[in-house]
Every structure is written in C-alpha cells, then in structure tokens.
C-alpha cells in the first residue's frame, strides 16, 4: 500500500532548492538562526543544559557535531537533542500561529547538527531549515493536535525534522520517504509534557523528536525501510493522531501555489514566556508606565481578557496560579503579568528573583 501524504512530502522535500528561495527568505532564516543561537546560549547554565552536556560527553562518533557553546563534539543526534533543549528551554524562541501553535525554530539546532556532521554548505543549511519550517507550519495550519487527542506539538516535529535533516544529508526522494516513515511511526508525544507543574521535559519534547528525526534519516540513508502507509494506513497517523484523514495545506511553490514561505510569518518573541502571554506582558508594562506603578504592592487586582487557547495553556490549571518550577512560571499568564507589574520587566532571571526574595 502506498501513502500519498508520504509521497507528497518526500517529493516536495527532494525538489526544493536554494534557488527557489527569495532573498528575503534567506535573510529571515539567518535572523532566526541568530535568534535561536542566542536563546540557546542564554540557557547555557540552566540545570537541564548542564545535565545534557554531561550526557553528551559520553558519546563520540566519526560523524559528529558540536554542542552549542563548547568544543565538545558528540553524535549528531545527541548534539541535536542537547542544543535543541538549550534553544527551547527559556521559551524565548520564535512562534508560529496557525490553527495550532508551533515553535518552528526548534528545527534549527536539529538541522544544524546534521549539516555540521555531514559538512553541508550554508545554502543547503538554509534550504533545510526553510523546508522544516514549511512542513511543520503547514501542519499547524491544517489541524489542531488537541482536537485529535492528548498530543504535543512534538508530533509535528517528527514529520518536519527528518525532511530538513534529510535535505542537508543529501538523501534521495526514496530515502526521504523512509526517513519520514521511520520518524513518524514512533513520533506520538503526549501533551502532558505541558500540563500541571511543568518539568524539564517541556524543553526536551520537540528536541527528542529531532533526535529521532536524525536517527531515522541516518537509518534511511543505510537502506532501512519504514511502514509503507504510516499516515493513511488502518493503524497510522490519521487514525491515531488526527482521528481521521486530513489534507495537508498547500506548501509554498507546490503546484501553482505561490504563497510566501511560512518562515516569513514566524514571530520573534520579545519576552521569555509562552507565546500567548506576549501581548498581555506588553499591556502590563504599558499600564505600569501610564499609572505610575513602581511595585506590585500598589496593585489591588488585574483583569485580563484573552482567548480560550491562552486560558487553557497558561491560566486554566491551578499550577499556573502557584508556579513552583521555572517551566511553569514562563507558562503562567498570572505570574508573568505580576512580574511585569512588580519589576518592570520579564527576563530569564525572573524565576531567580522570585526565589531570592520569596516573592
């Protein structure tokens, strides 16, 4: 049995070339690379970053990539996992809003690790990143994962990372199709990663899909095959993840579609907090200035109007009103607004201020 979704993705990925990218797309990609690396370096001294660097030091390979901010080289899949977690940890990297929300720059450290390991050119790197952005964001435009089950956005990264990685590795169309199959077959990730008091795994979930995406591409390169109908089969992605067939939105330059590449719609964050809280923080800072607030002690109450997804993700659970971990705090609208009003800023160190002052 064939799978038209796999065939479509593999054909598109194989045919996309650097020459197909407008100059502004290449420029935007460079901006997002710089932003992502800055996010990763900002998280360099955090607890999970240290733990993963220590673990990365265990592994070595003739095909290797560098751990961000060090001279340590490890296997490309573990470099991707380590670097990806660093980029994601502060929740400061970019966001894309469609029917679903994604952080497509999660693909950047994954594709970079593969590009370094396989000595790919800068043009190939940019093409692979644009491709991964396009695929992940197109899925976010197509379907909201929560409507299909308790699935995390890492599910879509299990589709985007093998094509971006496979592109910089120079895989053939057939190899790309098997990289997709091998990555997707084990790619369902639970949304529980972002519920309750949030753990370190929130930052690791998508990088783990990227780690598996590189592994899948390396297997496909060596002739390992994946399930033929991974999307459309009786026990495939559409049954398990979306609860029925969905048709992926048109990809840029696919057929007669000449829409802008989706990477152009990616939003760079101003604050290290969940995407849904960005405008709320801006409003709180503006109110602080207009009302002459110098301390949260001057504020009796705050009323916030937002939309349902924001409430569900960042205010609808009791943990968001009493965050006990840094990961929960940056996903709490009440907390980040309180920080903005009390301190006049929301920065990566805001969790440290809370602990030191007992605030």
What's the rounded mean pLDDT across residues 2-29? Answer: 97
The predicted pLDDT at position 309 comes to 85
The predicted pLDDT at position 256 comes to 81
The predicted pLDDT at position 153 comes to 95
The predicted pLDDT at position 347 comes to 86
The predicted pLDDT at position 258 comes to 85
The sign of the CA dihedral 172, 178, 184, 186 is: negative
Q: How confident is the model at residue 1 (pLDDT cuts 50, 70, 90)?
A: low
Does CATH number 1.10.4100.10 belong to domain 4-265? Answer: yes
- As a whole number, the mean pLDDT across the chain is 94
DSSP 8-class letter at 66: E
Q: How confident is the model at residue 348 (pLDDT cuts 50, 70, 90)?
A: confident
What's the rounded mean pLDDT across residues 326-334? Answer: 93
Asked whether residue 352 carries a pLDDT value surpassing 50, the answer given is no
The predicted pLDDT at position 350 comes to 62
The domain segmentation of the chain, as residue ranges, is 4-265, 275-357
Question: Rounded distance, CA 309 to CA 293, Å?
Answer: 29
Range with the lowest mean pLDDT among 130-134, 323-327, 355-359?
A: 355-359
Q: For the purposes of burial, counting CB atoms within 10 Å of the CB of 187, is it exposed (0-12), middle (13-18) or buried (19 or more)?
A: buried
pLDDT digits (tens, 9 = 90+) for 248-285: 999 999 988 888 999 999 999 999 999 999 999 999 99
CA distances from residue 68 to 38, 53, 305, 325 in whole angstroms, order as listed = 10, 9, 39, 24
The predicted pLDDT at position 107 comes to 98
The predicted pLDDT at position 359 comes to 47
Asked whether residue 180 carries a pLDDT value surpassing 90, the answer given is yes
The predicted pLDDT at position 263 comes to 98
pLDDT digits (tens, 9 = 90+) for 207-219: 999 999 999 999 9
The predicted pLDDT at position 358 comes to 47
Q: How confident is the model at residue 351 (pLDDT cuts 50, 70, 90)?
A: low
**Percentage of the residues of the chain whose pLDDT score is greater than 90:** 89
**Percentage of the residues of the chain whose pLDDT score is greater than 70:** 97
Is pLDDT larger for residue 326 or for residue 166? 166
pLDDT digits (tens, 9 = 90+) for 115-151: 999 999 999 999 999 999 999 999 999 999 999 999 9
CA distances from residue 223 to 9, 162, 171, 181, 216 in whole angstroms, order as listed = 19, 15, 11, 13, 11
Q: Is the pTM higher than 0.85?
A: yes
Q: Which residues of 213-247 are buried (b: 16+ CB within 10 A; e: fewer)?
A: bbbbbbbbbeeeebbebbbbeeebbbeebbeeebe
């Amino acid at each position: 049995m064939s799978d038209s979704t796999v065939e479509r993705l593999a054909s598109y990925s194989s045919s996309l070339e650097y020459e197909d990218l407008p100059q502004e797309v290449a420029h935007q990609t460079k901006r997002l690379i710089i932003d992502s690396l800055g996010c990763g370096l900002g998280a360099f001294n955090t607890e999970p970053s240290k733990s993963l660097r220590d673990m990365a030091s265990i592994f070595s390979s003739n095909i290797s990539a560098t751990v961000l901010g060090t001279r340590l080289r490890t296997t490309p899949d573990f470099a991707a996992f380590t670097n990806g977690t660093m980029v994601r940890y502060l929740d400061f990297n970019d966001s894309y809003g469609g029917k679903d929300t994604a952080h497509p720059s999660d693909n950047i450290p994954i594709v970079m690790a593969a590009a370094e390991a396989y000595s790919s050119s800068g043009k190939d790197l940019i093409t692979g990143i644009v491709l991964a952005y396009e695929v992940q964001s197109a899925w976010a435009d197509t379907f909201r994962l929560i409507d299909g089950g308790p699935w995390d956005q890492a599910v879509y990264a299990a589709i985007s990372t093998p094509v971006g990685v496979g592109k910089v590795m120079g895989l053939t169309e057939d190899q790309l199709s098997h990289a997709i199959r091998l990555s997707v077959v084990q790619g369902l990730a639970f949304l529980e990663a972002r519920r309750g008091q949030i753990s370190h795994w929130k930052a690791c979930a998508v990088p783990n899909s990227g780690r598996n995406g590189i592994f899948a591409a390396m297997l496909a390169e060596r002739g390992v095959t994946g399930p033929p109908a991974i999307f459309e089969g009786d026990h495939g992605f559409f049954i398990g993840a979306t609860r029925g067939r969905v048709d992926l939105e048109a990809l840029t330059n696919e057929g007669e579609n000449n829409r802008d590449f989706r990477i152009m719609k990616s939003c760079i964050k101003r604050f290290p907090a969940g995407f849904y809280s960005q405008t709320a923080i801006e409003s709180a800072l503006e109110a602080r200035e207009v009302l002459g607030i110098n301390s949260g002690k001057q504020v009796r109450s705050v009323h916030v109007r937002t939309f349902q997804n924001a409430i569900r993700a960042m205010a609808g659970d009791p943990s968001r009103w009493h965050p006990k971990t840094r990961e929960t705090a940056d996903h709490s609208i009440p907390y980040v607004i309180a920080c903005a009003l009390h301190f006049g800023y929301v920065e990566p160190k805001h969790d440290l201020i809370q602990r030191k002052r007992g605030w």
